[in-house]
Amino acid sequence: MNNVEDTLKGKIRDIPDYPKKGILFRDITPLLKDGSSFALCVDELAKRVSDIDFDYVVGIEARGFIIGAALAYKMKKGFIPIRKLGKLPYRRISKEYALEYGTATIEMHHDALAGGQEALLVDDLLATGGTAKAAAELVESVGGKVAGFAFVIELAGLNGRSMLGKSRIDTLMKY
């Protein structure tokens, strides 16, 4: 652990048995609420990915919007949203993926990326990697490329990295 990770972990609220019994949920809202911790989180992510060539930040609804938009602003990049089913207004590409029980669908505008434009995919949490993998497939479906992934928290025991192939993955805190 380094000092940044210690500092940020001090702002995570552990919530037992959420969303269901036996799960320890890592709540980032105290981190977001503390202006200097939020800035540290965004600045540190920007530093970690500073050697990656990419054109756009792609944020995954909803907490990925918070981290991704601030990071895009910081790095002077455009921001592209990946949203839940039925939330985007224009022509879109959908990707269904498996959850523990059932499935979920995420969507991206069909013209969001093109011609091999490179995306940095951003979300708050890397857990099983299912959502991130589906997001990467969406990016490729519309004609883009995945330059890397950035997450605030990685639940290392769930081994989400194994879902994401050889992609570059940066995370700020590991549990």
- Which residue in the list 48, 63, 161, 168 is annotated as catalytic? 63
CB of 66 to its own copies, least distance (A): 4
Q: Which is nearer to its own copies, 88 or 172 (CB)?
A: 88
CB of 8 to its own copies, least distance (A): 14
- DSSP code per residue over 102-155: SEEEEEEETTSS-TT-EEEEEEEEESSSHHHHHHHHHHHHTT-EEEEEEEEEE-
Active site residue 100: yes
Closest CA to 117 of 147, 137, 94: 147
Q: Is the Cβ–Cβ distance between 85 and 61 less than 8 Å?
A: no
Q: Which is nearer to its own copies, 60 or 164 (CB)?
A: 60
Q: Which is nearer to its own copies, 85 or 159 (CB)?
A: 85
What are the Cα distances from residue 157, in Å, to 71, 128, 169? 26, 9, 16
Using CB under 8 A, list all residues that contact its own copies: 13, 15, 18-19, 25, 27, 29, 32-36, 38-39, 42, 56, 59, 61-63, 65-70, 72-74, 76-81, 83, 87-90, 109, 112
Active site residue 63: yes
* Residues carrying an active site annotation: 63, 100
